[in-house]
Each structure stands twice: as structure tokens, then as C-alpha cells.
């Protein structure tokens, strides 16, 4: 493999979490990582080196990044955190787990909210249990009122994530930096959609496996040299993707 391709390797990493919420920014102390499962695929990370890391301001993504950096012995790398890489804001559905939401609203409606490109869920109103928690959270203290949404569609999530990619991450890659991103399913889907040139319909059906890195090799124009590569054995990746696809179904 040429040195140019090696230098332009990039990882996208969906956060490892066992939260049961359709939430984006609810305060929680998500510490229930399946460390045994994580380290079971950590062997696939050996030999990768990075120069700079990016993650959201949500604990589960930050802790996922810690686990990755610890497993590759690069805890010293610089890390940039941004709300723009946060998970999608599920508005009025925040605090409900996926199965309960499906039982209440129906699986078809939940799939529309979760998988349609431009249809947001119901907004989070001032009477919502977590409204004051989020609106007064210091992590978002510098945001203007229009930057702090009450709900988001996938289109909205991509609209806030992509400017950060274009303005902050892409210039680093063009300088030859090897970049590691630990974020969330929907913010990462936005980056994948951009890199792959996927249609709105195609990105809605893409299930990114949780806890399994995606390797991208980019050319000088930041175009993929080849399709995304999942770092993990085929069976592990398949099961992880099926688990994501099964979310939002009511429990029998």
C-alpha cells in the first residue's frame, strides 16, 4: 500500500453504549460498557496510529474514545469535543426507550421518525421532564437559541455535523493528519453520506454497527479510495448491524 494511502487512513467510530433511550442530550452516567465485547474486537486496532481525535460532548462517545485510545496506547493524543457531533435530538421522545415508544406510537411511526430523512419527531416542550436539564446544561451555554434544537430529523443532524467536518476535520486530513472520530450513529451517518455521495433514501437504510470502527482511506480530494471497511470479523459485524436494525421494534 502506498504511503499516501497509509497517511490518509481515517477511523469513524460509533459510540459503545447500552443506553435504552431515544435521547440525544439527556444527562446520564452511562458506564455500563460491555468491556469484554469491546476488547474482543480491540485486537483489530493494533498497529493503527493517529494524530488527532474528535468526539461529541456526550459521555458515551467520550468514554468510547477513551477505551479506543487506551487499547491502542495513544491516550496522549489531542482530543477535540464538539456538540456538533452529538447524537440526533429526539425531542419529545427523549427519555422513552425504543420498545416503549414503538408500543405507544407503533413500529411504523417509530421507523418514520428514526429513518426518514427530513421528518423530525415531536418537539421537546418546556413541560418535558428533561427540558430544563438540557436548556441549562453548561455544555451548551455558548449556543444561541436557534442552535439548540427542540428536535431533529436526520437532515437537521447532518446540517449541524457537516460544517464541523468541512471547517475543522477536513483541513486536518488535507494536512496529512490521521484522524480518529468517536461519535454517534446519526452524526456519523451524515459524514458517511457526504463521503460516499449517498442518496437520502440510501442513508436512511444504513445501519452502522455499534462499537466497531469504520476505516476510510481517502485520496487528496477526500474521496474514498475504496468502500468503507469495518474492522472486525464478518460475524461480529453482521450481528452488530442486525442489532441496530432491530431497534425501534416493540417487544413481544
pLDDT for the residue 11: 58
Give residue-wise pLDDT tens across range 149-175.
Answer: 999 999 999 999 999 999 999 999 999
Helix (H, G, I), strand (E, B) or coil at 10: strand
Asked if 86 and 27 touch (Cβ cutoff 8 Å), the reply is no
Return the minimum-mean-pLDDT range out of 17-26, 29-38, 127-136, 169-178: 17-26
Percent helix, strand, coil in the chain, to 5, is 45, 10, 45
98 labelled binding-site residue:
yes
139 labelled binding-site residue:
no
Averaged pLDDT, 135-160: 91
Helix (H, G, I), strand (E, B) or coil at 230: strand
User: Which are the contacts of 227, defined by CB distance < 8 A and separation ≥ 6?
Assistant: 196
Phi, psi of 234 (to 5 degrees): -60, -40
Query: Domain-by-domain residue ranges, the chain?
Result: 3-246
Q: What is the rounded radius of gyration, in angstroms, for the C-alpha atoms of the chain?
A: 18
pLDDT for the residue 110: 86
pLDDT for the residue 159: 96
CB neighbours (10 Å) of residue 128? Answer: 19
167 labelled binding-site residue:
no
Give residue-wise pLDDT tens across range 44-72.
Answer: 667 889 999 999 999 999 998 998 899 88
Q: Which three cell numbers stand for residue 198?
A: 449517498
88 labelled binding-site residue:
yes
185 labelled binding-site residue:
yes
What whole-number distance in Å separates Cα of residue 93 and Cα of residue 24? 10
138 labelled binding-site residue:
no
CATH homologous superfamily, domain 3-246: Phosphoglycerate mutase-like (3.40.50.1240)
87 labelled binding-site residue:
yes
Helix (H, G, I), strand (E, B) or coil at 226: coil
CA angle 111, 115, 117 (to 5 degrees): 135
90 labelled binding-site residue:
yes
Amino acid at each position: 500500500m502506498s504511503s499516501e494511502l497509509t497517511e490518509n487512513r481515517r477511523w469513524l467510530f460509533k459510540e459503545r453504549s447500552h443506553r435504552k433511550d431515544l435521547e440525544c442530550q439527556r444527562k446520564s452516567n452511562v458506564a455500563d460498557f460491555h468491556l469484554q465485547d469491546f476488547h474482543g474486537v480491540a485486537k483489530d486496532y493494533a498497529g493503527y496510529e493517529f494524530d488527532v481525535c474528535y468526539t461529541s460532548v456526550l459521555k458515551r462517545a467520550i468514554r468510547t474514545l477513551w477505551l479506543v485510545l487506551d487499547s491502542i496506547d495513544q491516550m496522549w493524543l489531542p482530543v477535540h469535543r464538539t456538540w456538533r457531533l452529538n447524537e440526533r435530538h429526539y425531542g419529545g421522545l427523549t427519555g422513552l426507550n425504543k420498545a416503549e415508544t414503538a408500543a405507544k406510537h407503533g413500529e411504523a411511526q417509530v421507523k418514520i421518525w428514526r429513518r426518514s430523512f427530513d421528518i423530525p419527531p415531536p418537539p421537546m416542550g418546556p413541560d418535558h421532564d428533561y427540558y430544563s436539564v438540557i436548556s441549562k446544561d453548561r455544555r451548551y451555554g455558548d449556543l444561541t437559541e436557534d442552535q439548540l434544537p427542540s428536535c431533529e430529523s436526520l437532515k437537521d443532524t447532518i446540517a449541524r455535523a457537516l460544517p464541523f467536518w468541512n471547517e475543522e476535520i477536513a483541513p486536518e486530513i488535507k494536512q496529512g493528519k490521521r484522524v480518529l472520530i468517536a461519535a454517534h450513529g446519526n452524526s456519523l451517518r451524515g459524514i458517511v453520506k457526504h463521503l460516499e455521495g449517498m442518496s437520502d433514501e440510501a442513508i436512511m437504510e444504513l445501519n452502522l454497527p455499534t462499537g466497531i470502527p469504520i476505516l476510510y482511506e481517502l485520496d487528496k480530494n477526500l474521496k474514498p479510495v475504496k468502500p468503507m471497511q469495518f474492522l472486525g470479523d464478518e460475524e461480529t459485524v453482521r450481528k452488530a448491524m442486525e442489532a441496530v436494525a432491530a431497534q425501534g421494534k416493540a417487544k413481544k
